Amino acid sequence: MQRFNTPFVYTSAQSRVVFGAGSIDFLTRELDQLGLNKVLIVGTAGQRAFNEELRLKLGGRIVACFSEAVMHTPVSVTNEAMSIVESHQVDGVVAVGGGSSIGLSKAIAFRTGLPQVVIPTTYAGSEMTAILGETENELKVTKSDPKIRPKVVIYDVNLTTGLPVAISVTSGMNAIAHAVEALYAHDTNPVIATLAEEGVRSLVKALPLIAANPEDLDGRSNALYGAWLCGICLGSVSMAIHHKLCHTLGGTFNLPHAETHTALLPHALAYNAGHTPQAIERLRRALDTISPAQALYDLAKKLGAQMSLKELGMPEEGIQKATELAFKNMYPNPRTLEPEGVKVLITHAWQGKRPL
């Protein structure tokens, strides 16, 4: 059991969560409680049809839909959405989808202070945080502010059954990454460590069920539950080298977000493993294994995930560039960061090797 022999600080995040199959039916109630009457729905092109149906269902209080959200929240796309916010005098935002939709909603909230109701359809977990990552000029910059955090999160399991297996797996691994780094965060605490262990345990049990049967409601429910817990971890404590590198790689090389997390996580964990015994002890329990880094690699690969950054589109010359960027605005990390060690970490992920 992890022990904390030194004082710690835990701040409880204030988000209202509505969880369960069919819970999107409570959206009207949640909008009423927030007093919202001129709402903008945001999402990606893939959610356009669903969002238009939602607009018709909710009636006149939905003043517009914006379906141009994309990965890494480019500032240029946010500026387009902001023109709609201003022209329609929007008083709240509803986001439907994964990290792209939620990122855009957060970017609007950061600029306006408008309340958000978020309806996740993936396992990204960003809905539980006051963190925003925006990309401009090939650089992804992270911002933190209380107004970025959504007011309400509606977890409707039914909306995740159509999520393709490949995306379910990488999205779930993305969520696991939040919990892994929360376990060895310099500001972790007993509450977050417990949530992180449970979140990992729930997801690693759920993902094989989803791969075998995408409409398995037990698998989907456990995955969404695990993602929620991992999202709380992400929003409560600091992240480390894994998240720093994912932001760097995503913003610089426009790599797919969840897939990059999946390929990089086992190597980042292996880099830190010898310097964080309490985190490894919890991960061994959650994964039922001696080697958590190898277990995560094997699970993702078995379920069909691409484990090579090269195959995800990263050029080989990007290894050196990413190494250099890792040392700018560094995140706290349990193991001292050495340029050669970080370069090896990135190189192994680029090659898709199983971690040692």
Parse the chain into domains and list their residue ranges.
Answer: 16-160, 165-351
What's the rounded mean pLDDT across residues 171-192? Answer: 96
Per-residue pLDDT, 4 = 59
Burial grade of 265 (CB within 10 A; 0-12, 13-18, 19 or more) = buried
pLDDT confidence of 356, banded at 50, 70, 90? confident
pLDDT confidence of 145, banded at 50, 70, 90? very high
What's the rounded mean pLDDT across residues 210-236? Answer: 96
What's the rounded mean pLDDT across residues 276-298? Answer: 97
> Hey, what are 102's tokens?
């939620």
> Hey, what are 82's tokens?
């902001």
Q: Residue 157 pLDDT > 70, yes or no?
A: yes
Per-residue pLDDT, 160 = 96
Tell me the CATH number for domain 16-160.
3.40.50.1970
What's the rounded mean pLDDT across residues 131-156? Answer: 92
Topology of the domain covering 165-351: Dehydroquinate synthase-like, alpha domain (1.20.1090)
Query: Is this structure's pTM higher than 0.75?
Result: yes
Per-residue pLDDT, 79 = 97
Q: Residue 305 pLDDT > 90, yes or no?
A: yes
For the chain, give the mean pLDDT: 95
Please give the Cα distance from 284 to 177 (Å, whole number). 15
Per-residue pLDDT, 163 = 95
pLDDT confidence of 140, banded at 50, 70, 90? confident
